[in-house]
């Protein structure tokens, strides 16, 4: 199935590669920076770049949630934790696991690359949404926000409520730990 519409334009492709390089470079900075605050700011760039990639995939609802939760709430929590920590200006000491972690990372990257290059990625051809019926494909992938809302509050309401209780418990636990100090 070939790309049609704006996805086929060279500008779209250039923006995709630009955002992808930005996300990869920022994620490397998250790991490599010794300053925890700067690392947290690079993490914000990774989260917002991931939301940009989701917008390019026409997953607008997930992109908005990504920006609100991962691009907003989580970094604020991390930055508050950094600000409340003593001696945050002192850089993190290095440890002796650098070589081991590098080897494990190369192994995982090789496994992922092997999986990506040896997988048949033409999903629509084998699914119930045949390429012959392009209207059904466009209907299924056009606007997923109402469908996500219905599923979230009908079929997956228990999981949604459990997640909210877990988040509330973590906030209360953080406040209790903070108050004890």
Q: HSE, CB side, 13 Å, CA atoms: give it for residue 110.
A: 6
Supply the pTM of this predicted model. 0.61
- Looking at the domain assignment, is residue 78 inside a domain? yes
Q: Is the predicted pLDDT of residue 128 greater than 90, yes or no?
A: no
What is the rounded CA–CA span in Å between residue 181 and residue 34? Answer: 27
- Looking at the domain assignment, is residue 70 inside a domain? yes
Domain count, the chain: 1
- Looking at the domain assignment, is residue 63 inside a domain? yes
- Looking at the domain assignment, is residue 146 inside a domain? no
- Looking at the domain assignment, is residue 53 inside a domain? yes
Q: What confidence tier does 109 reach under pLDDT thresholds 50, 70, 90?
A: very high
- Looking at the domain assignment, is residue 72 inside a domain? yes
Per-residue pLDDT at 24: 95
Q: Domain range for residue 13?
A: 1-93
- What mean pLDDT value characterizes the chain? 80
End-to-end CA distance of the chain: 59
- pLDDT tens digit string along 36-91? 788 888 999 999 999 999 998 888 888 888 888 888 888 887 777 777 776 655 65
Q: What is the CATH number of the domain that holds 27?
A: 1.20.120.1200
- Highest mean pLDDT of the ranges 10-14, 75-79, 107-111, 137-141: 107-111
**Residue in 65, 22, 17 with CA at minimum distance from that of residue 46:** 22
Three-class secondary structure assignment of 33-93: CCCHHHHHHHHHHHHHHHHHHHHHCCCHHHHHHHHHHHHHHHHHHHHHHHHHCCCCCCCCC
Structure tokens at 50: 């991931």
What is the rounded CA–CA span in Å between residue 87 and residue 169? Answer: 28
- pLDDT tens digit string along 4-36? 667 778 898 999 999 999 999 999 999 888 887
- Looking at the domain assignment, is residue 171 inside a domain? no
Per-residue pLDDT at 110: 96
Per-residue pLDDT at 1: 43
- Looking at the domain assignment, is residue 68 inside a domain? yes
């Amino acid at each position: 199935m070939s790309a049609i519409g704006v996805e086929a334009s060279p500008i779209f492709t250039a923006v995709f590669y630009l955002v992808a390089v930005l996300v990869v470079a920022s994620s490397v900075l998250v790991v490599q920076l010794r300053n925890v605050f700067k690392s947290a700011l690079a993490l914000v760039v990774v989260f917002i770049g991931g939301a940009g990639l989701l917008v390019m995939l026409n997953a607008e609802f997930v992109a908005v949630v990504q920006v609100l939760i991962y691009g907003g709430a989580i970094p604020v929590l991390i930055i508050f934790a950094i600000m409340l920590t003593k001696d945050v200006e002192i850089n993190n000491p290095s440890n002796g696991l650098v070589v081991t972690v590098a080897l494990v990372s190369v192994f995982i990257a090789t496994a992922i690359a092997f999986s990506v290059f040896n997988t048949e990625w033409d999903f629509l051809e084998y699914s119930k949404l045949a390429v012959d019926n392009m209207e059904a494909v466009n209907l299924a992938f056009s606007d997923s926000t109402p469908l996500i809302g219905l599923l979230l509050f009908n079929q997956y309401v228990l999981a949604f409520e459990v997640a909210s209780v877990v988040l509330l418990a973590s906030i209360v636990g953080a406040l209790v730990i903070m108050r004890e100090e």
